[in-house]
Amino acid sequence: MPVKEVLMIGNPELRQKSSDIIEMGKEVKDISLDLKDTLEFLQKTKNIGRGLAAPQIGYLKKIIYFGLPSESFIMINPKILYKSEETFQVWDSCFSFDVAFFVEIERHRKIEVKYKDEFGKEIKREFENDLSELVQHEIDHLFGILATDHLTDVKKIISRNEWEKRFH
């Protein structure tokens, strides 16, 4: 499938809620492949990134693709079942910001998520630390929420160049 254009912050479609996937058919396969191809392209060209949600490429459906160094997987209709009380601060960016800047936000250190894979199998999985942050970020996209919505201090915004100098 072709690489899709990523919708940028300010595009009203990014603020819409996605609908559940009812059938595991051709639509799921096509969207999943578009997400995979687009994320792999972005990882190569932007040299960053581990996940992409369907709304970011124009599909208002609850599908996320994760491409991690250790594994790749699809989440369909994810639902967070548990969030730890313990939180942590993290610098977060987004392909929908063109990865031009980062915002420091608070996320739950540990979450448990129920979702279906691309075959319709229901999975429950716990995520901690950076993976917890990543999964929360991508699930937010399915509800029209961006990382900037979690910003509590406007002084906690940093350009990518400065972030790379200081933290990477």
Interval 106-152: pLDDT, tens: 999 999 999 999 999 999 999 999 999 999 999 999 999 999 999 98
Indicate if 138 belongs to the active site: yes
Count how many domains the chain has: 1
Expressed as residue numbers, the domain containing 126 is: 12-167
Mean pLDDT of the chain: 95
Residue 39 lies in a domain: yes
Residue 27 lies in a domain: yes
Residue 69 lies in a domain: yes
Nearest to 30 by CA among 5, 63, 7: 63
Q: What are the b/e assignments for 47-82, b being 16+ CB within 10 Å? A: eebbbbbbbbbebebbbbbbbeeeeeebbbbbebee
pLDDT band (50, 70, 90) for residue 167? confident
Residue 88 lies in a domain: yes
For position 97, which CATH number holds? 3.90.45.10
DSSP string for residues in 93-156: --GGGTT-EEEEEEEESEEEEEEE-TTS-EEEEEEEHHHHHHHHHHHHHTTT--GGGG---TT-
Query: Which pLDDT score is estimated for 152?
Result: 85
Cα angle 126, 146, 71 (rounded to 5 degrees) comes to 35
- CA distance linking residue 11 with residue 155, whole number of Å: 24
Residue 90 lies in a domain: yes
Residue keyed to tokens 């009203």: 12
Residue 4 lies in a domain: no
Interval 18-41: pLDDT, tens: 999 999 999 999 999 999 999 999
Interval 41-62: pLDDT, tens: 999 999 999 999 999 999 999 9
| Per annotation, catalytic residue among 5, 138, 162, 164 | 138
In this structure, the chain runs to a length of 168
Query: Which pLDDT score is estimated for 1?
Result: 59
Interval 78-105: pLDDT, tens: 999 999 999 999 999 999 999 999 999 9
